[in-house]
Each structure stands twice: as C-alpha cells, then as structure tokens.
Amino acid sequence: MGKDLILVESPSKAKTINKYVGKNYIVEATVGHIKNLPKTKLGIDIENGFTPSLLNIRGKGDVIKKIKSLASKSEKIYVATDPDREGEAIAQDVVDVLDPKHHPKIERVLFNEITKKAVNEALTKPLKIDYHLVISQRARRVMDRIIGYKVSPFLWRAVLDSNGSSLSAGRVQSVALRLVCEREEEIEKFIPTEYWSLVAVFKTEKEEEFVAKLYEVNGKQIKLPPKPKMTDEEWEEFFKTNFAISKEDIAKKIYDELINKNNYVISDISKKESKKNPYAPFITSTLQVEASRKLRLRPRRTMMLAQQLYEGIDLGSEGTTGLITYMRTDSTRLSAEIVSEARNYITERYGEQYLPEKVKSYEQKNKKNVQDAHEAIRPTSLKYTPEFVKEYLDDYQFKLYDLIWKRFVASQMESARLETTSVNVSSDIYTFRSSGTTLLFDGFLALYDETTEDNSEKSDGTGNIPAGLEVDQKIILKELTPNQHFTKPPARFTESTLIKELESNGIGRPSTYAMIMGTIVDRRYVEQVDRKLIPTNLGKKVNGVLIKNFPDIINVNFTAQMEEELDLIANGETNYLQVLNDFYVPFSKDLAEVEANLEKIICEKCGGELDLKIGRFGKYYACTNYPECKNIKSLKEVAGVSNEPEYTGETCPQCNSKTVYREGKFGRFIGCEKYPDCNFTKVITLGMKCPKCNEGDVITRRTKRGKIFYGCNRYPDCDYASWTMPKPSEEEQLESNSSEDEY
C-alpha cells in the first residue's frame, strides 16, 4: 500500500511537518512557484479574455519530475501550500502539473499554524482548492505583467540611470514611489512659519516648582496661524477667536508685561480620568511597522524571520514546532481556544485585576475587504513563553517572537487607567497651563507598550505638578523664557510609515508590503538615510515620466480600486474578465496616447524601424527587417548616452587590443575592447592579499541586491567575504608607500 503525499512550498516547512505525520506520509516541497509567465514575452492573450500562458519555471524540471514520480506511487495527495492567494495559486499549479485525471485523489489542506495538533486536524478535514482565490491571484499577476511589459520599454527610452541599466515600472511599486516623491516635493516647497512660546517656572511658598506654558491671552487660545503667509483680512478673521505670537516683537512685549507681575494665582485645577486600551494583536502590516520601530528591522527581514517562526523551530526535547500562526494576514480575529488560554495565563501571572470582565475583541468594522480566512499573528501556544524558547532562537528571532507574544497577551489584558491634571495660572489677561498625567493602574502596560516613530514622546516641558495645589493660591514667577520656533515640514516616510500610508489608502496586501519596500530601494529609486526614504534623482525622473504619461494608472485611487476589485474576485462577487477590462480600458487609452507621440527609432543601415528585444543578456534594439538587416543597438546608444569606452591604458594579453572598464552583474571589471571576439576579462583588485588564504587578491563585489562586499578572487576555492574592507598587511602598505614615492 502506497504512502500519502503532502506537498508544501518550503523545505523547512516540509521538514517540520514530516516529524508530525508519521511514516504513512511523504512530505515534499515545491520550493515556491513551479509555474510562471514567460520571461521574454508578454505571455497574455489580451484579445482572448486576458488568458495567461503559464509555463513551468526553468530550473524546476527536477522538482516537477520528483513530484510526479511520488504522486504516481501515492494513495492520496494533499496540497498544503500557504493559506493565501499565492499559496492557492501554487496549489492549482500543482494540480495542473499532476493532472487530476491521473490523480483524482488530490485534496487541499490548510495549516494556519505548524503544530502537530493543527497539522493532523487539517489532514482529517481536506478541502477543495478555492477557485476564486486562484483567479484573484491570476488577475493580479496579469495586471502587473501588462503594466511592467508595456510601460517599462517606454521608461527604457525615456530615462537611463548612470550605468545605462534598464528600468521598470510596477502597478503598486510605482504608486509607492509616487507617494515618496510627492512627500519630498511637499518638503522642498515648505515655507516655515515663525512662532514663539513663553514658558514659565512657578514656585509655591513651599519652594515647590512646576513648569507652565502661556496658553491664553484675553480669553483667546494661542494657536499657530493656518498658513505661512496671510492677508490682512485672513489675520483679522483668525484673531477673532485665536491669538498668535508670530513675531519676536509680540513675544518681547508680552514678556516685558509678564516678567514684572506679582499677582499670579492658580485660577483652575481640573482632573480627568481616562483609559488607554490595549492594541489589537498583530496583522502583517502592524507587525512590520512595529518591528521597524522597535527592532529596526526592514519589512523583508521581518517577514523572513516570521516565516522561520511559523515553519518551525527545534525546541530540543519538545521537538520541532511552529511558534506563531501564519504571518500574512489582515485579520485580527482570534480563536476562542487561544483567548481562553491567554485569560488563564493573565490571571495566574498578573492577578484578577488585570483580566477584563469581557473578552477583548478587535473587529475591523471600518476596514474593507479584510481577508478573514485565518487569525491574527499570535503564538501557537502560551506554553512557549519567550523565556522558554530563548535558548533555541537566534537574537532577532527571539526579539520578534517576544514582540508577537507580548502584543497578543497584552491584547487580552485590562485597559490602563490614567488621570490627567491640568492647572491654570493667571495674571490679568494672561493664563498659563501645566498638565501632568498620572498612571492609576498600568493594566496591559505592565507587559507591552508601543513607541513613537522616533522613540520619544512629544513634550512642552510641563507635566511635573506638585500635590496639594489649590484654586486662588498665590504663586511666584521664578523664570520666564521666550522661545522661538519654526513650523516643520511633513516628515519623510520611513518604511513603516509608508506601509501605514499604503494600507490606509487600500493599496497593497499582506503578502506584498515587504516586496514593495524592497523593490523601490533595490531599483535605486529610493534610498534610506537614517531610515528615512528619500527619492533619488533617478526615482524622481522615473516618477515624473510615469505621472506625465500614465496619470490614470499610476494613481492612488485607481490602484486602490483595483485592489478592491481583486478582493471582490476572491470573495466571488465579481469575475476575472470584468476586473481586467476595468483595468485595461483606461490603461490602453494612456498607452495609445504615449505610443502615438513616441518617436520611431530608425535603422541607419536600411531605413527600417528598430524594435525592442529581450535576449539572454538583457534588452536591446534590433532592426525589424531582420534577417535581411542585422543591425542592433544597446539601450544606451538609442537613448543618446555616450558609449565611449573607458580605457585602462593597458593592452589585452590575448590579442594586444586595448582593455576597457566594464560594468557587470557583480560590479566593475576589466575586459577586452574586442569583446565578443576576444573574451579576456580581469577582476579589479584592491592591491591586497586575501587575509584568509593569503594567495588570492581582495576584490570588490556586489550582492544580487547591489550591496557591496569584499571577497577573494579565488572564490569558490576560498570563501572569504566581509562587509568591511580589510586592512592591508604591513608589506602591502610599504609597497604602496614605495609606489607613491616612485610616482
């Protein structure tokens, strides 16, 4: 009797599940997607209902062959890919590859958490593939491909970066870039407004001191003017109900009046009790935001670590188990079982006073199209406290798990109670105010509190109010300080605040936020400086070209509408063709206008037209009269970028031609000017021996994402690699000094 086959995406997930299900099952990984659109052509039949041409991914032949072989020997086949759109699409690809006619016993199972109990329960409750989710993913993929394939060639002609590399556009990434660029424009155009504050230090007869800020003048509250420049009429309207200390002479006049007064009294004391409610358990976006704030983790790194916690950690005698539920979710729903477990833990650990009378619920009433298929991100069991698992996790795995665990438990704790005391100090027409907050009951704050983006709370310097103050009590002015201020421009986005902005506009979904952030940085459209996102010159150029030529598509509202329609497909409320038509009609209109105004590229050899082609080594232009005319040109030549080679001053040892500097996938290198007729290449070394093998030379290299590192030119024989440049040996330094002297 054959074994049953379970198919998942990840090898590590397969390893964990294999330990739970016993010898009657074989668990195999697809290692991600096994089908995709073709790389070198559109792969979508637009005229025939936007039908995609999905092909087996190059390099996945052995994986597919193994899956087919295992399936042919299996009684049942369970497809257990991730419980979201991408996972559902992979499941459908697996079914298509295996062919249900030959394997009728293919069933779908969903694991919201990778624990022994959850896995074995899911296997007893198999499902059918959710066709609506699959079609929703296909529609998203088709939209992205059409925009990328149709818009990118236009960008390649309109803009080139400093290396002459080709550029690309994306449906969501381009909108994210637009938001960053528009914020930068706001900052550049911002006109600061001057304003002043007067801060006093008062003391009582008991020599107790407190700080207060001038709050009202003649019953009018001090406020900032709404605009940097206002007309006389606007100022008159403003001053009817408000007062502004907008200039130094106004501040000085008030200061001169106040500094000599000796009739300050406490005119009012008010106390107000309030509650601070716990935060909802994490969803994907809030996890990425908070991990960025507290742990300084980029969204991509956060999701990688969360994936590891989800797929399973070896806990020694406990075995391998998944520590958190599925990390791509926009639902705050929690199971009754885990809530009950949390309430028991809170009572035992903190006491009855920390347990709310009713279960805390976090329904997202005002959020459209929440995918409620699975729960919020939470621990799989409160048995696995952060202290319990710490020795089995690396530093950042632990920090992220600790964050998730505390956020979840705190979400079920009692609210904190605060008391805010406000004291008014008056003298004639002037009133100062000091406010302070006292924590009456810490509640969930005993376990967890969020931090602000800059990890500091805003303060005007007030807040420490002595006990026992009374109305009409006379006090003494000890100090008075006028402070000049200027309004600040809006803050630049960080990755976390940009995710919040995208989410608030209905753009992006749990599975895409990290990819969006990574893409705009990897393409060098945006750079991070002190964690702030700043558009590069390249990013500004790309954004300008896209907004000018595709205003209806690279648009926040349109993109949000498309995301909503994709969700409607997933819910079975609309169909694939309707959504693709809603997208393509305005897009094709913009595209037609752009193409009509696009100057044709004429072949100087035959008078034909040069057309864009994609080959093994990238993009280039070729004559449409091929094979009669074999003229080709690089993107740089077509764009008018100088293609003059940069000579090294040396000759090629193979053919005696000149050698030139070239740019490759992993950085700069030296090559022969006669390439491809002569294939001589030479790495550019840093003039120092490898500190590990002492045979090779240290060279500068780049990762796939463009980050520079230093390695040995004898790789793979020597695997030396370092993020920091190694120091030259004493001999190399002497040699270097000698060379400089000789020069």
326 is catalytic: yes
DSSP string computed for 574-635: S-HHHHHHHHHHHHHHHHHHHHHTSPP-B-TTTS-BEEEEEETTEEEEEETTTTT---EE-H
Closest CA to 506 of 280, 228, 172: 172
Number of helices (H), then strands (E), in the chain: 20, 31
Residue with tokens 């990238």: 618
Six token digits for residue 173: 């990434």
Within a 10 A sphere around the Cβ of 234, how many other Cβ atoms? 13
DSSP string computed for 408-459: HHHHTSPPEEEEEEEEEEEETTEEEEEEEEEEEE-GGGGT-----TTSS---
Element (H, E) at 388: helix 386-389
Q: Cα angle vertex 192, ends 188, 194, to 5°? A: 170
Burial 686-723 (b: 16+ CB within 10 A, else e): eebbbebeeebebbbbeeeeeeeebbbbbeeebebeee
Six token digits for residue 409: 């438990």
Give me the residues paired with residue 483 across strands.
197
**Helix 537-549 / helix 173-189 crossing angle, nearest 10 deg:** 110
Element (H, E) at 567: helix 556-570
Sign of CA dihedral 257, 258, 260, 261: positive
- Helix, strand or coil for residue 3? coil
DSSP E strand stretches across 488-536: 526-529, 532-535
Sign of CA dihedral 240, 244, 250, 253: positive
Rounded to whole angstroms, how far apart are CA atoms 672 and 481?
Answer: 71
DSSP E strand stretches across 490-546: 526-529, 532-535
Residue with tokens 């319990």: 388
Long-range contacts at 166-170 (CB < 8 A, ≥ 24 apart)? 166/618, 166/619, 166/635, 167/523, 167/538, 167/542, 168/523, 169/542, 169/546, 169/554, 170/144, 170/519
Closest CA to 432 of 272, 253, 255: 255
Q: How far is CA 113 from CA 249, 302, 309, 322, in A?
A: 66, 18, 10, 6
- Helix, strand or coil for residue 363? coil
Closest CA to 220 of 237, 251, 241: 241
- Which of 25, 255, 264, 326 is catalytic? The answer is 326
Is-contact 609 601, C-beta < 8 A? Answer: yes
Rounded to whole angstroms, how far apart are CA atoms 163 and 538?
Answer: 11
Six token digits for residue 579: 């959504």
Supply the residues annotated as catalytic.
Answer: 326
